[in-house]
A and B are shown apart, each in its own frame.
Chain A
Amino acid sequence: MNIVIVGTGYVGLVSGSCFADKGHHVYCVDNNQSKIKDLKNGIIPIYEKGLKSLIDRNTANGHLEFTTSLKDAVGEADFIFIAVGTPEMTNGEANLEYVYHVADELSEVLDDTRYRVIVDKSTVPIGTAYEVRKRIARNIPTAAFDVCSVPEFLKEGSAVHDTLHPDRIVIGTDSEKAQKRLVELHRPFSNQLFVTDIRSAEMIKYASNCFLATKISFINEIANLCDAYGADIKEVAAAMGLDKRISPHFLNAGLGYGGSCFPKDIKALINMADQVDYDATLLKAVQQVNTKQKYRVISHLHNVFDHELAGKKIGILGLAFKPNTDDFRESPSLFIIHELVKQAATVVVYDPVVGHKARLPDKVEIMEEVTSVFDHVDAVVLMTEWPEFIHLPYESLKHKMRTPVVIDGRNALDPVELKNNGFIYHGIGVR
């Protein structure tokens, strides 16, 4: 099959290279010239485990090509996937400008020489596929095509693995012909193909992400209660997770969700509800909890330092919103750094992949070595649970610190060991 993927971000690039690896011919299209130039030279703009070798292999055998020209790519295409960004606007609504732009472009460049399945992979509000269809049809009323929704569920940090071994693939379509083709195309990836109508498919994506966000906010609230009542959130979460109706995933208490998806998808669904006059109370509460949760770190620091952080030097471990990714959009770490700077603390930071990519306040120093984060600091705060942070020689690093304070925003460290080594330790809901 000939496949075109429009947009080479996390989603487009990963699904494009995975399709290529199954033997299809894939064109990845992006209007960002320098990105395409890099990709052609084997430079991968994002960090994902296994992605580079996948791309190298499939560009070498000619299955995977990169271009900036949508027109050149779509000529022979059987499938066209739209995987461009859908960032949030200030009111939380999903910005469909990029998706519609692609639709309008397709309307210019498609011809009626063959039937095509056009697929929304981007996360889009309910009903968007119908608008995309209308826009594409504008200049080519006779072209044979269907617009379907196949929402993406990959997670940054394990994107390649998730694409090759998904729990399920959701296919939303109202056309039998498109359904048949999409089932055929996705069958090699999963036995669990869930076919439904377009609107429900679009909703499944939002509902799934929002549920996981709800789970995170829920366990964070319980962690806060554990702090108040002397229970231990790790114990509570572990036993809750044994209940099959609950499942152990997404029950790690911490500083809340971040990244490019959960925050924006929650806001978008709240906005969608608002637009149909439904007040999504529960979702709003989930979001409020998340907004507040990051400041637990600050309040722990306040408790330790008697509400005065001015002049204190704080070392931050981690910038990415979670480990194994270089994505720091909406990362709690950034909020905390800004807050600390606002409170006149001195901040030094280390992250193994984000490094200098993040835009930080001027005064913040980015370290090249993880151990430098401990030099003469009053406290170290773990913000991303990168494996290398968990296995640091804390006992010896303690001697570099001004005061041995560790705030563990991810409950990733062993409290007993640290306390035995003379640290003042605070996690989120752990004793």
Chain B
Amino acid sequence: MKIAVIGTGYVGLVTGVCLSDIGHTVICIDVDQEKVKRLQSGDPIIYEPGLEDLMKKNIEKSRLSFSGNHQTGLAGAEVVYIAVGTPQNHDGSANLNYIEAAATDIAKNITQDTVVVTKSTVPVGTNQHIKEVITVNLVHPVKVTVVSNPEFLREGSAIQDTFSGDRIVIGTDDEQAAYIIEEINQPFGIPVYKTDIASAEMIKYASNAFLATKISFINEIANICEKTGANVDAVAAGMGLDNRIGPKFLSAGLGYGGSCFPKDTNALVQLAGNHEHDFKLLKSVIEVNNNQPLHLFQKAKQRLGDFKGKKIAVLGLAFKPNTDDMREAPSTLLIQQLLEEGANVTAFDPIAIENARRILGDGLTYSESIDETLQDAEATFIVTDWEKVKNIDLATLEQRMKYPIVFDGRNCFALEAVKTANIEYYSMGRSDIANREKLAVGGSNK
């Protein structure tokens, strides 16, 4: 099958690369010419485990190519995937400018009957709109069918998710189009769920919103545990054994971030609002999530009194491990707060520094070394549970830091282990471990 993919971000690039790997001829199109040049040279730009190798392999086999030009890119394509961004507007609704531009590009350049597949996350009704935009702008009299095929990959395991996802959702009213898309995906061997367009669009938002709800739920439980003496990790493990609940997405911490959950939950609230439906439940999910980083910050402030002139170490910047994505990362809010209160922040991250600098600027020190980050710090915040962070020898904290006071936003360490170390330790939804008798630590002890 000859396929064109419009947009080469996380979703478009990974989709294009994987579709070429199962034997299709794929051309990926982007308006960003700089990006296209780098991609053509075999540089994937974004970080995803396994992506670079797979990309190079398929470029070599001439199944994968890149173009900055819609006319050449779309020529001869039987199926066109739309994978451009759908960022949020100020009011939280999804911005469809890129989608509309892509639809217009398609209309102007296709020369044969085409199936247009929307991978981007779009509000219910958008595929219908895409079809209209294309129809109105068509140059050649060809037949266009639209299919909603929402993407469920996760950054950090995007390749693996594409090859072994739980399900592929195909939403369309056109049986022939559904058949074509099912055939394209057949080599992945993943269960296909066929449905109507509106339901497919809703499935994507509902799934993400539910997972966000699961995260905020366990965070709310963590906050109650903290105050009643239960241990949220034990609670989550005990809950997760219930098959109706399942163990995934039950890690208490600083909440969700990234390019999807925050924007998709906001968009769904907005979508409800359009019909005068007040989606209180989801609003409260968002509220709990926004509060989590501040909750840890407040705990630290109470302990330290103030941050003025103190060196504060931050371990992890990316919104989750194995990605360099900084969009809506909890580290942002936390660090901004620390800087505002006069702290000297040094932040460690193995790959997200470049992206972080664009958001947080130069008001802090960035480091790719954990040891350097910890050196002489008066407190440490753990923000991203990178493997490297989880594997820190607790003795290092004691040795390197000026005062070994740790605020762990990701519950990286077992309390038993911490009890034997000489550190003061505050985590999410678990008892504080002061080890005060062992420690004579500074800070304005309250």
Cβ–Cβ contact A235 & B220, under 8 A: no
Cβ–Cβ contact A203 & B202, under 8 A: no
Cβ–Cβ contact A168 & B242, under 8 A: yes
The verdict on B394 contacting chain A, using a C-beta distance below 8 Å, is no
Cβ–Cβ contact A239 & B227, under 8 A: no
The verdict on B230 contacting chain A, using a C-beta distance below 8 Å, is yes
Interface size on A, residues (CB 8 A): 63
Distance of A204 Cα from B230 Cα, bound (Å): 9
Chain A binder among B19-27, B204-212, B321-329: B204-212
Cβ–Cβ contact B239 & A208, under 8 A: yes
Secondary structure type dominating chain B contacts: helix
Most buried by B among A170, A211, A214, A238: A211
Q: Which residue from B125, B234, B243, B285 sits with its C-beta under 8 Å from A196?
A: B234
Cβ–Cβ contact A250 & B244, under 8 A: yes
Residue of A nearest to B233 (CB): A200
Cβ–Cβ contact B220 & A280, under 8 A: yes
Secondary structure type dominating chain A contacts: helix
Cβ–Cβ contact A281 & B198, under 8 A: no
Cβ–Cβ contact B217 & A211, under 8 A: yes
Chain B binder among A110-118, A220-228, A310-318, A342-350: A220-228
Cβ–Cβ contact A203 & B228, under 8 A: yes
Q: Mark B243-267, 1 if CB is under 8 A from A, else 0.
A: 1111011000000000000000000
Distance of A283 Cα from B281 Cα, bound (Å): 8
Cβ–Cβ contact A276 & B216, under 8 A: no
Q: Which of B216-244 contact A (CB under 8 A)?
A: 216-217, 220-221, 223-225, 227-231, 234-235, 237-239, 241-244
The verdict on B145 contacting chain A, using a C-beta distance below 8 Å, is no
Distance of A240 Cα from B237 Cα, bound (Å): 23
Cβ–Cβ contact A207 & B235, under 8 A: yes
Chain A binder among B188-196, B305-313, B354-362: B188-196
Distance of A250 Cα from B178 Cα, bound (Å): 29
Give chain B nearest CB distance to A110 CB in angstroms: 27
The verdict on A218 contacting chain B, using a C-beta distance below 8 Å, is yes
The verdict on A197 contacting chain B, using a C-beta distance below 8 Å, is yes
Q: Which of A254-275 contact B (CB under 8 A)?
A: 269, 272-273
Cβ–Cβ contact A236 & B203, under 8 A: yes
Known: A282-B288, A286-B281. A218 touches B210 (CB 8 A): yes
Residue of B nearest to A290 (CB): B281
Cβ–Cβ contact B152 & A243, under 8 A: yes
Residue of A nearest to B201 (CB): A231
Cβ–Cβ contact A244 & B248, under 8 A: yes
The verdict on B174 contacting chain A, using a C-beta distance below 8 Å, is no
Could you say which residues of chain B place their CB within 8 Å of the CB of A215? 210, 244
Distance of A288 Cα from B283 Cα, bound (Å): 13
Cβ–Cβ contact A242 & B237, under 8 A: no
Known: A229-B271, A231-B201, A232-B196. A218 touches B230 (CB 8 A): no
Cβ–Cβ contact B230 & A126, under 8 A: yes
Q: Which residue from A214, A228, A289 sits with its C-beta under 8 Å from B217?
A: A214
Q: Mark A3-46, 1 if CB is under 8 A from B, else 0.
A: 00000000000000000000000000000000000000000000
Give chain A nearest CB distance to B258 CB in angstroms: 15
Residue of A nearest to B167 (CB): A242
The verdict on B272 contacting chain A, using a C-beta distance below 8 Å, is yes
The verdict on A212 contacting chain B, using a C-beta distance below 8 Å, is yes
Distance of A240 Cα from B213 Cα, bound (Å): 14
Cβ–Cβ contact B241 & A167, under 8 A: yes
Distance of A280 Cα from B218 Cα, bound (Å): 12
Distance of A101 Cα from B4 Cα, bound (Å): 73
Known: A168-B241, A229-B275, A285-B281. A280 touches B224 (CB 8 A): yes
Could you say which residues of chain A place their CB within 8 Å of the CB of B243? 167, 247, 249
Could you say which residues of chain A place their CB within 8 Å of the CB of B228? 126-127, 199, 203, 272, 276
Interfacial residues, chain B to chain A (CB-CB below 8 A) = 124-125, 152, 166-167, 169, 191, 193, 195-196, 198-203, 206-207, 209-211, 213-214, 216-217, 220-221, 223-225, 227-231, 234-235, 237-239, 241-246, 248-249, 268, 271-272, 275, 277, 279-285, 287-288
Supply 22 A–B pairs (Cβ within 8 Å), ascending by A: A168-B238, A194-B237, A194-B241, A199-B228, A211-B239, A224-B277, A228-B272, A229-B198, A229-B275, A231-B202, A235-B196, A235-B199, A236-B206, A243-B207, A244-B166, A246-B246, A249-B243, A272-B224, A276-B224, A276-B228, A278-B223, A282-B220
Extra A-B contacts (6), CB below 8 Å, given A196-B238, A231-B196, A250-B244:
A126-B228, A211-B239, A239-B167, A243-B207, A281-B288, A283-B220
